Structure 1
Amino acid sequence: MIDGYAKNGDIATARRVFESVPEGLKNVGTWTIMVDGYVTCAHGGFVDEGLETFSKMEKYGLTANIKHYGCLVDLLGRAGKLQDAFNLVKGMPMAPNDRVLGALLGACRIHSDTIMAENVLELVSKLNSYHVAHDDAHYLLLSSIYAASERWEMAEGMRLVFSARGSKKTAGHSALMF
C-alpha cells in the first residue's frame, strides 16, 4: 500500500500507512519503499522528509544498503542538491555502484551541471584506479551532458574515450534498480 500511494503522488497517505505499521513489523523492505517513495515525490518538496526517513533507519537497527543510498542520491539530485548528493556518494560506507553514479550523473544532466559531472567522472576514475569496476557508459552520459551545453569538442572527446576503452553501447532500460 505504501508503494502504491507513493507512486501515485500521495506521499502523505503513504507516510501515514508507513507510520501505522507496528515497529516490530517494519523491516528493510518497508523502509526502502518509504525512502524510494520520497524519491518519486522529490518534485513535490519532500526532500527533507526523505532525508529524515533515511536517518531514522539506524535508530531502528537497520543498516542502509546500496539501494538506500542510491535512492537518497537520486532524491537529492532530482531536487537540484547536486553537491549534497556528491558528498553523500563520497562518504558512503561502501563503494558506489554504477546505478548510484548514474543517478548522480543523470541529475547533472537534468540540471546542466557540467562541472559536477566532471567531478563525478573524476570520482569514477579514482574508483577505477582502486580496482572498483564501473561501467564505461558514464562517459556517454557525460558526452550527452556536454552536448546539451553545446560543448561539442568535449562531447566528442568523451565518446572517443568510450570507444578507445573498447566499450560498447548496451540497450537502455527504464527501471532504476540499485
Structure 2
Amino acid sequence: MAARPQEDGPGGPRLPGAAAGPGGRDETPEERADRRWGELLQEVRVTQTGVQILFGFLLTVVFTPRFATLGDTDRAIYVTTVVLGAATTGALVGPVSLHRIVSGRRIKPETVIWAARLTMAGIVLLLCTVTSALTLILRLALHNSAVPWLVAGIVVWLVLCWFGLPGWLLHHYRSKE
C-alpha cells in the first residue's frame, strides 16, 4: 500500500515523514528552493545597492580634473578597482539573469545552488573591490606609509565580519549536534 500524501503544497505532494529537511522544516525540495531563493534575493539586494553606488562613483572619477594628475601606480590601482567593480556587478546581477533565463524549466533547486555560488563570488570580488578602492583613496589622501596598515586592518575586519563569524558559527554549532 502506497503512502498517501498529507497535503499538496506549491512544491507538490508531501509524503509522511519524508519531507522534513535541514533544520526540521517540513517542506518539499521545491518549497525549500523557493524559500532559499527568497532569502538569496534579499541578500543580493543589499550587496547590489552598495556595489552600484561604489561602481557609479568609480566611473565618474576619470572625468574629474584631479584624475589627470594621478601617477602611473594610482592609475593602475584605479583601473584595477574599476575592473573589479565591473566583475563584482556581474557576479551579483548574475543570479537575476540566471533565474530569468532558466525560470520555468523545473530546475529551481539547481538554480538556487548556482545563484548562491555567484553571490559568494560577488562577495569575494566585493572584498577585492573595496580593498582596491580604499587603497587608492588612502594613497591620495594620506601620502604616507600608514596606508598599507590601514587597508590591511580594514580587510581583516571585513574578512572577520563576512567570513570569520559565519565560519565560527558553523563550526561552533555543528560541533554541538
Q: TM-score range by the shorter chain?
A: under 0.3
| TM-score of the aligned structures, taking structure 1 as reference length | 0.26
Say which structure, 1 or 2, has more relative contact order (CA 8 Å, 6+ apart): 2
Which has more helix, going by share of residues? Answer: 2
* TM-score for both structures, normalised by structure 2: 0.26
Asked which structure has the greater CA Rg, the reply is 2
